[in-house]
Amino acid sequence: KAGCPWTKEGNLELLKIPNFLHLTPVAIKKHCEALKGEKGFHTAHSEEQHYILQYLKFCTEWPAALDNDEKCEKHFPVEIETADYVSAGPSVRNPKARVVTLRVKLSSLNLDDHAKKKLIKLVGERYCKTTDVLTIRTDRCPLKRQNYDYAVYLLTVLYHESWKTEEWEKNKTEADMEEYVWENSSSEKNILETLLQIKAAEKNLEVNKEELLGTKEVEDYRKSVVSLKNEGDNESTLSQYKESVKRLLNLT
């Protein structure tokens, strides 16, 4: 007990199972008593107790302010998921333990409209539009820590690349956009011109652009056009577009 530690060659301690699954309830109780300090560390001679005590001194209490999931998500938006495997054998290594999954909501990142759309384009199917969650899974490196660093590196690169605006992006037309935007579109300009001509024919020259675009009929037309462009032409969007045009032109 007080001698020199054994080397790795011919060391029987290395053949022991490195967990508590093989212990009897009585042995586990003795371990717990030693960890609680009822008998002190001097009575804990096993290698398992030594390692556990080394880890326990780094443990801290859970912050009292983080009493619900919403607060945890607000202050810690990045979620890291890993898995550890316990086997009844002398080896603690498991190749599946190296996998690291990183999740973060795009709403928690400081992104403008251009950066968000570009990041979604870069990550592809790793982004879920329903939950607004970006998922990055790394398993290329042999160690868990390496895969964790790689996942954080990927998130950092994606964030900074999404804020860059290349020269070719400045030449994007309305047909190249990821989703249809009503503001300053050709549809907005055409409907405004049409309404101004109608008002001019009625000899009502006192209306302005803001008043026309703020009416309920124009707002319904805007929603129907955006749905038709983004969702495609189907029975619902076409019917919605038809009714909005009829109300807009007072044909109902």
Structural domains in the chain, sorted by start: 12-56 (no CATH), 69-167 (3.30.160.20), 177-248 (no CATH)
Of residues 241 and 143, more confidently modeled: 143
Q: Per residue, what are the HEC states of the chain?
A: CCCCCCCCCCCHHHHCCCCCCCCCHHHHHHHHHHHHCCCCHHHCCCHHHHHHHHHHCCCCCCCCCCCCHHHHHHHCCCEEECCCCCCCCCCCCCHHHHCEEEEEEHHHCCCCHHHHHHHHHHHHHHEECCCCEEEEEECCCCCHHHHHHHHHHHHHHHHHHHCCCCCHHHHCCHHHCCCCCCCCCHHHHHHHHHHHHHHHHCCCCCCCHHHHHCCHHHHHHHHHHHHHHHHCCCHHHHHHHHHHHHHHCCCC
% the chain with pLDDT above 70: 81
- Residue 221 pLDDT > 80: yes
Instruction: Identify the pLDDT of residue 196.
Output: 79
Query: Count of CB atoms within 10 A of residue 11's CB?
Result: 11
Token digits for 186? 């050709």
Mean pLDDT of 167-171: 80
Residues in contact with 75: Cβ distance below 8 Å, sequence separation at least 6, in sequence order: 66
In DSSP terms, which residues pair with 138 in a beta bridge? 100
Q: Name the band, by pLDDT with cuts 50, 70 and 90, for residue 125.
A: very high
Q: What is the model's pTM?
A: 0.62
Q: Average pLDDT, whole number, for the chain?
A: 81
Instruction: Choose from 3-7, 33-37, 71-75, 103-107 the range with maximum mean pLDDT.
Output: 103-107
